[in-house]
Amino acid sequence: MRKLVATELVSMDGVVESPDEWAFSYTDDEMAAEDEAGMAASDALLLGRATYEEFAAFWPNQPGGTPMVDYINSVRKYVVSTTLEEPLEWNNSTVIEGDFVEGISALKNQPGKDITVTGSLTLVRSLMREGLLDELRCVVCPVVRGTGRRLFEDEADRRALELVDSKTFATGAVTLTYRPTAGE
């Protein structure tokens, strides 16, 4: 079975909103190599509608030749949405129709590499609640935002997680990889 892995850029106070405004200054060659390893382990990208629309407006217009641009524009993209009926004009995009739990479970049962989720906060919360997320990778940046949407914000998000890996980068960012604990 394929693994479903979410990666989120997170401030020290748990904010995930608008990481393009604060997170990328903590990126270096070491973190880029970590990103490339994650892309090599994945052959599908799962996105919520809002993140998909943001990405579809940006990534197809970027010049190729870098690992991130080439990966994100060529990889198979699956969109979870109750409002989007047809995918936008972006290479390899498919809207998951019907019950998203059934659709994602079917994807996980197909042969292939990991399925990656990035951004897509509402989707990540739903995946956790439904027991579909196999790993949550939080890239914690050494900044306090004070305000903004947080990764988890209400009682429905409560659950125990097990830390399975951690990496510290020279920029001060830390990647913490968690898995739901047994019985969660």
Condensed to tens digits (0 to 9), the pLDDT of residues 52-72 reads 999 999 999 999 888 889 999
Are the C-beta atoms of residues 151 and 182 closer than 8 Å to each other?
no
Q: Please, what is the angle between helix 29-40 and helix 67-74, to 10°?
A: 30
Which helix (H) or strand (E) segment holds residue 71: the answer is: helix 67-74
Give the model's pLDDT for residue 183. Answer: 59
pTM score > 0.75 for this model? yes
For the chain, domains (ranges, CATH) are: 4-180 (3.40.430.10)
Query: How many whole angstroms separate alpha carbon 83 and alpha carbon 63?
Result: 30
Q: Please give the share of the chain, as a percent, with pLDDT higher than 70.
A: 98
| Tens-place pLDDT, residues 154-179 | 776 788 899 999 999 999 999 999 99
Query: How many whole angstroms separate alpha carbon 144 and alpha carbon 48?
Result: 26
